[in-house]
Structure 1
Amino acid sequence: MDRLDELAIFLEVLNQGSLAGAARRLRRSAPAVTRAIASLEQRFGARLVERTTRSLAPTEAGVRLAEQAANILKSYNEAVQDTAETQLKGLLRVTAPVLFGRRHIAPLVMEFQSLHPEIQIELLLSDRNLDLIEQGIDVAVRIGHLEDSSKVARRLGQVSLVMIASPQYLAAYPDLRHPSELAKHQIVLSSSDTFNEWRFGAHEEGPRLRLSPHLVFNDVETRVLAVKSAKGIGRFLSYQVADELADGTLVRLLPEFEPLPLPVQLVVQNIQLMPFKVRTFWDFIRTRLHDLPQIHA
């Protein structure tokens, strides 16, 4: 651990009033924070914090060091920032789901590149969660819950899993009042639907139906086309059919049986050592994606 890092940990311990609070804030283990303080005290030759009944408080030596540490880190950050601001250049790699990326991320990538023409941006669209380290990806847009706790995510909004059909289809088939009645209907399925099964209910505790689809596609836009053509009922993430739902081309079915919405998140491997070009893109895309009505369904 470098010595600037120890100073930053020491200041966070004082800010939080506890080792555990600093560990949570810095995403470090409690033993790592304890070792950093012990190392700093050994080098300083004096106790820097005292434990009270409820929290930690700085000693007189700790107060003096905290003042100096704050100035040192401020000067360091300003020096790094001055250098970093000249580094809005080079390659930036971004990934997003295919349709969401095509509709919402690609326009923002092109806008950002126009603002910073010395940055080269590679946008990788994939409905698989590409490995950030293995693929050399700087920023990912992910839909769903983050499985890897080592990564940093910022929630931008949410999307719902909606069941839909066209008005023409609904006019020709029996009314649908409960998921169990899907057996009477034509189904347009995604090839990624596990075991041809749909689950219902906020926590998927409701009906589970094994379906016999009439059409199966591995492409979202083809499935949307089939449902719009009155070929059956399909299930989509709300952003994938937001325009069609808004203009009445498609109708949302049984919203009371939908699972809980899924988060739309911006993900990076490490936020503390983020290069300036990545930080600039991160701030830009967070602001712009927050304004999208399609991710607040």
Structure 2
Amino acid sequence: MDKFRAMTTFVQIADAGSLTAAAWAMEASLPAVVRSLAAYEAALGVRLFNRTTRRISLTEDGRRHLANCRQLLAALHDAEAELKNDAAEPTGLLTITAPVLFGQMHVAPIVTRFALQHRQLRCRVTLLDRVVNLLEEGIDVGIRIGHLEDSSLVALPLGQMRRVVVASPAWLREHGRPTHPNDLLSTNCVRITDHTPTWGPFRDGHKTLKLHVSGNLEFNHIAPAVQACAAGAGFGQFLSYQVAPLLQSGHLETVLDDFEEAPRPIHVVYPHARLLPARTRAFIDFIRQELKGFAPGNPPP
């Protein structure tokens, strides 16, 4: 059995969603595709698809194996391309995910610069405010903010960011500067819908504080909440990159700096693999250089 051909057929079936569509895409006969899949499943000793007369779907083993096959085929493709071109010029499709606002402000411009340097490469950026399973969703690289729990990923540090409480200078002149996190309980706080109304954690000596704040403004996106604080609507709690431009311009000021929790790390993450495609290696090196020591919103020395 030609394992490379069988693996390619398996991936094509998964992508096409049916045996017939896979046969058409590969310009092969349907019986040949069926035989290839059956032989491959027999060699592996597992069932890769659940098949009925109407539909075909991946098994749990099939989903796991699909991610590995994509990586191996991509690495082989890039190895061949490197030899053919006498250079490791990245080709193919690179998929990247990041949090929405961080992606808009920082990741998307970096990907654009990377794509301009590598015209043979296609880049697809998906911005989501949820933790994406890279293997299951076929993503090459992710940008994560905060402490990581998924040990199946390789994580390389990019920088760190603070979680800060901010207000406009006008608001602080009128209402005063808080001296303790508990002062936030008796003032107006701009909140984010679907986020916990609890602010913090704050460090108060050996104690950790979390506060149930309230206010008359609530948004389902971070950007308008930041702008409301800059307009003098009250206090807000954000990650430092989200307010860094307004801190630099003086439209916002941080408060309660002495009570902040430890900075949160930023990582570039990717699945464990012995063979990374050239495009993935190149992008990881590029974004690490671009965001080296990234620490937005740090207080001036």
Common topology (TM > 0.5): yes
2:62 maps to none
1:34 maps to none
1:231 maps to 233
- Hey, what's the Cα distance between the residues in 2 that align with 1:204 and 1:90? 52
- Hey, what's the Cα distance between the residues in 2 that align with 1:153 and 1:295? 23
Residue 123 in 1 paired to residue 144 in 2? no
Say if 1:210 and 1:232 are closer, same or farther in 2 by CA, change over 3 A: same
Structure 1 ranges of 4+ moved more than 3 A: 79-87, 195-198, 202-205
Residue 198 of structure 1 aligns to a residue whose secondary structure is strand
Residue 100 in 1 paired to residue 102 in 2? yes
Checking the alignment, whether the CA contact within 8 Å between 2:243 and 2:297 is kept in structure 1 is no
Say if 1:197 and 1:293 are closer, same or farther in 2 by CA, change over 3 A: closer
2:83 maps to 83
Checking the alignment, whether the CA contact within 8 Å between 1:206 and 1:257 is kept in structure 2 is no
Give 1:172 shift: 1.5
- Hey, what's the Cα distance between the residues in 2 that align with 1:206 and 1:118? 51
- Hey, what's the Cα distance between the residues in 2 that align with 1:131 and 1:210? 31
User: Identical aligned pairs, as a percentage?
Assistant: 39
For residues 189-239 of structure 1, the C-alpha deviation after alignment (integer angstroms, 9 at most, x for no partner) is: 122432544331189942221122321212111111110111110001011
How many pairs align? 219
Residue 148 of structure 1 aligns to a residue whose secondary structure is coil
RMSD, matched Cα: 2.4
1:137 maps to 139
The TM-score with structure 1 as length reference comes to 0.68
2:162 maps to 160
Residue 136 of structure 1 aligns to a residue whose secondary structure is coil
- Hey, what's the Cα distance between the residues in 1 that align with 2:268 and 2:207? 28
Say if 1:295 and 1:199 are closer, same or farther in 2 by CA, change over 3 A: closer
1:216 maps to 218
- Hey, what's the Cα distance between the residues in 2 that align with 1:236 and 1:202? 19
2:247 to 241, 245, 248: 245
- Hey, what's the Cα distance between the residues in 1 that align with 2:110 and 2:228? 29
- Hey, what's the Cα distance between the residues in 1 that align with 2:144 and 2:206? 21
Structure 2: unaligned runs, 5 residues or longer: 1-78
Checking the alignment, whether the CA contact within 8 Å between 2:155 and 2:268 is kept in structure 1 is yes
2:282 maps to 280
Checking the alignment, whether the CA contact within 8 Å between 1:158 and 1:295 is kept in structure 2 is no
Checking the alignment, whether the CA contact within 8 Å between 1:198 and 1:210 is kept in structure 2 is no
Say if 1:201 and 1:192 are closer, same or farther in 2 by CA, change over 3 A: farther
